[in-house]
Amino acid sequence: MGVIANLKLGRTLTKLTTLFVEVNRSSNLNREEVRYTRSYQDLTDKLKPYNPDKVSLELTNNMMVTAKLGHHERLKAQENLLDALSQDGFAAKGM
């Protein structure tokens, strides 16, 4: 995978994580409902060219950095995102 593709994947995962952080802060929308929002669908469409193993690996690497930085709220959002992406077939299950 090229540098540009890696940057695009990273940017998409960052946007999805931010979406899940906002969902965690909001009492109006739960984690399951976010999967049916336009934003989630638009962003996950951008993940289609990527192998689910690659998506899982990149997100897991991001989670390790987030944990080292002590950003607990963002880490929880990334955990929820990985679970949702796995359920929807965009990330590998059980990584």
Q: What's the confidence (pLDDT) of residue 32?
A: 65
pLDDT tens track, the chain, 95 positions? 688 988 999 999 999 999 999 888 876 766 667 766 888 999 999 999 999 999 999 999 999 999 999 999 999 999 999 999 999 999 998 65
CB 79 within 8 A of CB 41: no
Instruction: Collect all residues with Cβ–Cβ distance below 8 Å to 53 and sequence separation of at least 6.
Output: 92, 95
Query: In sequence order, what are the residues at sequence separation of 6 or more whose Cβ sits closer than 8 angstroms to the Cβ of residue 27?
Result: none
Q: Is the pTM of this model over 0.85?
A: yes
Of 90, 16, 19, the closest CA to residue 48 belongs to 90
Kindly list the domain boundaries of the chain, sorted by start residue.
Answer: 3-87
**Beta carbons within 10 angstroms of residue 82's beta carbon:** 25
